[in-house]
Structures are given as C-alpha cells and as structure tokens.
Amino acid sequence: MPSGLQATAGGPIPLARPLLGDAEERAVLAVLRSGQLSLGPRGPEFEQRFAARVGAAHASAVSSGTAGLHLALRAAGVSDGAEVITTPFSFVASANVAVYERARPVFVDIDPLTLNLDAEAAAAAVSSRTAALLPVHVFGYPADMATLEATGVPIVEDACEALGGSYADGGTIGSRGHPAVFAFYANKQMTTGEGGIVVTGDAQVKQRIDSERNQGRAPDMGWLDHDRLGFNYRLSDIACALGIAQLERLDELLAARARVAGLYRQALAQIPELTLPCEDSGRARRGWFVYVVQLPPGADRDRAVTELGTRGVAAKPYFPAIHLMSYYRERFGYRRGQFPVCEEVSERSIAIPFYPQMGEAEVTRVAQALSAALRQGRSSRVSLAAPGR
C-alpha cells in the first residue's frame, strides 16, 4: 500500500472519502494566515501546475466542473437555438450547461461496453444546427475522440470524471487542445472541496474564460471595465492551495484507486451475471473515479441498494438517464425507448464504495454484502411467484 494510505476497518463503509493530510492542512492554513483568500497567487500557480500535469497549454480554475463546462460551451459559440450533441448517460450537468445558453441538448445512445457516447451515432446526428459536441468520459474511461474530431464540429470534453486517464492514442486526457473540463468535488481523484478547471490549447479561449469567470472584467482586471457578460465562477485561493497539495500526491492517489479497482475485479468476479467496468483496451486507460457495476438482468436495483444499506454498505443508483428526467421530458419531449442501451444500463447500474483508503477487508465485505443482497432479492422473487395457500 502506498505511503500514507491506511485501510479503515469496521463500521459503515461510505460511498466515497477524500484523502487529506498534513500537507493539505498546511497549505490551507498558509492562505488563511496570508489574508488574501481570493484572486491571489495560488490560483495562477494551481493553473500552471495542472496544465503541465495533463499536457495542456493553458488552464483556468473555476468554481465547479459545471461552471467550466458552461464557460467552455460559450467559448465554442453555443447560443440561442443551437444544438449540442451529448450523452443521456451522465451527471445532469453535462446537459444542463447547454440549456443555460438556451440551446437544445441532442442525445444519442451509448456504447454498451464503454458506456460512452456512441461516436458514430453522434457523427450521424450532426446537422446544420450543431454548434458543439460534448462527449463525457464516463466513469473515467476515454471517449472515442478520433471519430468525433473527424466531424470537424467544435468539441468540449467533459473530463470531470477522467483525471489520470489516457486516450486511445496514449495521450493524456486533456491534452488534445480543445477545451476539456475537470472537476474536484470531494469524491473525485483529487479535490479542492468544490471546484473545477478548464484546460485548452487556445490562449484566446483562456482569456475569454478568465474574464467571464470574473464578471466579464477586462484582462487588466480594470474594476470599472466589464466588456462582456460574466459570472462569479472564481475559485478561491483556499481551494487552489488545497488543489496544489493534492496535485503533489496525485500519483499516489491514482495508484491507490487503481489498486482498489483491481481488488474489486477479483472479489466480484464470482457473482453470476454481474457486469463489471470494462477493462482498458490498447493504450486507452481509465482514470478511476467511481466503481459502478451493472446488476444481473431482472435484479431489483432499488432493493439491492436498500439491502446493502442494512449491511452497512453505501450504494447509489448511478446514473439516472437524463432524457427520462421530468424536466427533459417536459421541456424537450424525450421519452422512454429512444435510447435503449442507456436505459437498460441506467436501470441496472449502482455505484459501490470506492476511495483510495479502502483495504482488502473492506472490498471483501462489500462483495459479500452485494452477493447476499442479490441472493435476498432472488429469494423474494421466488417467494412472490410461488402459489398461494
């Protein structure tokens, strides 16, 4: 086990747990003592270090991954009446950001193996109204970028779950030049508490995002010169200091997550018909964010989640299909049956506990609890199907 990573034992097992230590505490305390909590030196330092880490020319720290996606879509030219092609299998923010700009999210179905946007279907959906493609590297696995790039349509990558991953050509996720957005919520590969960052190869895109995240101020930060519409999407120096400390141990954090994923693959392999995350293929590498499994066909997912909870193991349905959420059905007319692969995967998928401090004993306990929960569900279905007396 890497230095500083201690397995926990006994008690409830949470879904996620950030790994924080003395270095993070010292970094935050130094900012507090400096008296400059925002718009200070930690922001540019964090941006430069993060850009170097993923092989990008520029980076702009923002208040969340959602904020980063919003600003990146604006920079790509998305506005009223435009269409953004994206996936229905994601956290809802990746669709919401198009709606913020009064654009229409155009969903296409997903690949049943990688769970990413079906790139060929996305290419076929491109029309004269398409302003951008927004692929999501779902659960940290890289989308088929080569096929999407061949369309010539501007691309904004949702890499909020994919830090540490690499594309099919071996390049680091975030290094392709078009805007890619990472997020640092507490369950991510590294955390700033809340926060995100946009990386790009275009200096003008960075300049625009830097302005719009700060109320549209001019590049020289002139207080009275707001030359465009902007937002308060800044990331504080406190958060950036935390991010710098986490970046310094990122290799350790990523290795620990990969270790836990390996333990799960072994521990869960014996559960019949349980679908595990796809393995890496060729030079494509997953940046491990969560561990999501698909329950056997016909299993009662909600009951399984409840049963796991009674055994002290947190679990959550992950992800709900966006197009079936009431807002998207009512506003855009989406309906059940349009994206059958997404719908089946969504109905079977749950996230189980996954964080770098997990040890073999905890992984074994989760696997045993999941197996027992599924057996309990099968027993209940048999009882319900038996003739009454």
Separation between Cα atoms, residue 365 and residue 308, nearest integer Å: 11
DSSP states along 52-74: HHHT-SEEEEES-HHHHHHHHHH
- Sequence ranges of the chain with CATH classification 3.40.640.10: 22-248
* The pair of three-digit structure tokens given for residue 356, joined into one six-digit string: 């770098």
Query: 250-385 in CATH: which number?
Result: 3.90.1150.10
Residue 127 C-beta-side C-alpha neighbours within 13 Å = 10
- Whether 188 is catalytic is yes
Cα 334 to its chain centre, rounded Å, is 24
Q: Are 169 and 146 in contact (CB under 8 A)?
A: yes
What 8-state DSSP symbol labels residue 359?
A: -
In this predicted structure, what is the pLDDT of residue 222?
62
Angle at 42 between CA 39 and CA 43, to 5 degrees: 60
Q: Are strands 157-158 and 180-183 parallel, antiparallel or unpaired?
A: parallel
Angle at 111 between CA 144 and CA 140, to 5 degrees: 60
Q: Are strands 104-107 and 130-134 parallel, antiparallel or unpaired?
A: unpaired
202 Cβ neighbours under 8 A, 6+ residues apart: 57, 58, 177, 179
Separation between Cα atoms, residue 132 and residue 122, nearest integer Å: 11
Separation between Cα atoms, residue 266 and residue 128, nearest integer Å: 48
* The pair of three-digit structure tokens given for residue 247, joined into one six-digit string: 């970046």
Residue 131, CA distances (Å) to 10, 98, 122, 172 in order: 51, 10, 13, 25
pTM comes to 0.94
172 Cβ neighbours under 8 A, 6+ residues apart: 54, 55, 165, 166
Q: Are 88 and 107 in contact (CB under 8 A)?
A: yes
Q: Are 101 and 84 in contact (CB under 8 A)?
A: no
* Residue 384 backbone phi and psi in degrees, to 5: -65, -30
Residue 274 C-beta-side C-alpha neighbours within 13 Å = 25
In this predicted structure, what is the pLDDT of residue 227?
81
Residue 299, CA distances (Å) to 102, 253, 267, 334 in order: 39, 33, 20, 26
- Which parts of 161-249 fold into alpha helices (H)? 203-212, 237-248
Count CB neighbours of 229 within 10 A.
10
10-residue mean pLDDT profile of the chain (389 residues): values are 44 96 98 96 98 98 98 98 98 98 98 98 98 98 98 98 98 98 98 98 97 88 77 98 98 98 97 97 98 97 97 97 98 98 98 97 97 82 44
Separation between Cα atoms, residue 54 and residue 59, nearest integer Å: 10
Rg (CA), the chain: 22
Class of domain 22-248: alpha beta
Q: Are 182 and 160 in contact (CB under 8 A)?
A: yes
- Sequence ranges of the chain with CATH classification 3.90.1150.10: 250-385
* The pair of three-digit structure tokens given for residue 357, joined into one six-digit string: 């401090």
* The pair of three-digit structure tokens given for residue 230, joined into one six-digit string: 């902007």
State whether residue 136 is helix, strand or coil. strand
- Candidate list 58, 188, 257, 365, residue with the active-site label: 188
In DSSP terms, 313 is beta-bridged to 13
